Amino acid sequence: MALLKVLEFPDPRLRTKAVDVDPAELATSAFQTLLDDMFETMYAAPGIGLAASQVDVHKRFMVIDVSDDRSRPLVFINPRITAREGEQVYQEGCLSVPGIYADVTRSNVITVEALDRHGQPFTLTADGLLAVCIQHEMDHLEGKLFVDYLSPLKREMVRKKLLKARRAA
């Protein structure tokens, strides 16, 4: 397994809309290795979700594990949200926007349909942190970042702060 490079805001590649994964691709060792590498990268960060778009693979899949002990790894391939209820505000962070956190309003309960890592379809109803994480990662697949929920002024402040931090590193 290997750690992957995570793209950081304002990299324009983060704005690329992902395309569906061909189900024939799921059986390849390269795809399965990529999933394992994404989990390793996410856990090392440490994070609770990572969309393929964040590692410069612009296909519709993501890995998530919101458990404290890394015991519930989830893979969502070609995910689609089919139902939403309520609202919740969560303070979100992002591996592509390091060190920045902001309150974002999202649906409280969602139902998502996807394929698992072996191509088996499943439906999952999620709430709380898992629902937030799924919505956050699915935004990445659409080329959207959590900073897009901020005012233009705050988003520009985040951009400048990250660019300054990169220059200093």
Give backbone dihedrals phi and psi of 131, rounded to 5 degrees, phi first: -60, -45
Q: Is 136 annotated as a binding residue?
A: yes
- Catalytic annotation, pick one of 8, 137, 142, 156: 137
Compute the CA torsion angle 10, 12, 18, 22 (nearest 10 deg).
Answer: -120
Report in angstroms the alpha-carbon separations of 58 from 7, 51, 66, 72, 120. 12, 9, 23, 24, 21
Q: How far is CA 102 from CA 58, 63, 89, 136, in A?
A: 25, 22, 10, 12
Active-site residue 156, yes or no? no
Q: Identify the CA nearest to 87 among candidates 64, 71, 110, 66.
A: 110
Q: Which two structure tokens, joined as six digits, stand for 104?
A: 């974002």
- Annotated ligand binding at 58? The verdict is no
What is d(CA 153, CA 49) in angstroms, rounded to the nearest whole number?
27
What residues are designated binding site?
Answer: 94, 136, 140
**What residues act catalytically?**
137
What residues are designated binding site for Fe cation?
Answer: 94, 136, 140
